[in-house]
Homo-oligomer: A and B are copies of this chain.
Amino acid sequence: MARPRKFDEERVLLAVRDAFWDKGYAATSLDDLLQASGLGKGSLYGAFGDKHTLFLRALRDYDNTNLLALRESLESAARGIDMVRDFVLGPAADPTGAVSRRGCLLANSNAELAASTPEVAAEARRSYDAITAILTEALERARREGDLAPDADPADTARAVLVAQLGLVALGRTGEAPDTLAAAARSVLTRLLPAAAR
């Protein structure tokens, strides 16, 4: 019927996500987005709407990708506890610290925008609730597999695990030395899930 798009929508979304991730929402100008995506103003605007809409779209994409990866991680884990351990240790896993320093797009965005942009806070709640559900499932499995005390409540433990991971992400974002970060991760993991620490 008509002229087809020259760009791959998903690719643009990833480039835009990176731009927002690196500079934050407010500090990323339309120009930055155009340069990152390689598109012209009309194209970007026509395909995704204004900056705000585009940002939310990229953020939701990011979240969905993460949730999917988490679910897959649980399915492919040898034991339920393994997935939980990886989840907690993840933010401290990078020996160079570069990944940790970048933080999590959702956490960064929520911290920056929760007060002024309810959609971001809502997205964060949605994401964290979903993660809690996945962790709960993982911990139920871990209990059946003998890696979690029979009297421990999986849902309650899941909340504690999520909190620990959020804390590690926040701490990693400060650029704390990788060793310190790893020590903190190990410390909190040992106390929350002794069976996962060895």
Contact A125 B174, beta carbon cutoff 8 Å: yes
A160 to B83 Cα, complex, angstroms? 20
Given contacts A114-B175, A167-B170, A171-B166, contact A160 B108 (CB under 8 A): no
| A22 CB within 8 Å of chain B | yes
* Count of chain A residues with a beta carbon within 8 Å of a chain B beta carbon: 49
A102 near B128 with CB under 8 A, answer: no
Question: Which of B115, B156, B165 touches A167 (beta carbons < 8 Å)?
Answer: B165
A95 to chain B, nearest CB (A): 18
With A163-B164, A166-B166 as contacts: A156 and B24 at CB distance below 8 Å: no
Kindly list chain B residues whose C-beta atoms are within 8 Å of the C-beta of A68. Answer: none
Residues on A close to B: CB < 8 A? 22-27, 101-103, 107-108, 110-116, 121-122, 124-125, 128, 156-157, 159-160, 162-171, 173-176, 180, 183-185, 187-188, 191-192
- Can you name 14 extra interface pairs (CB under 8 A) apart from A110-B174, A163-B167? A24-B112, A24-B115, A26-B26, A103-B111, A107-B170, A111-B112, A121-B174, A124-B174, A125-B176, A128-B174, A157-B191, A159-B184, A166-B170, A167-B167
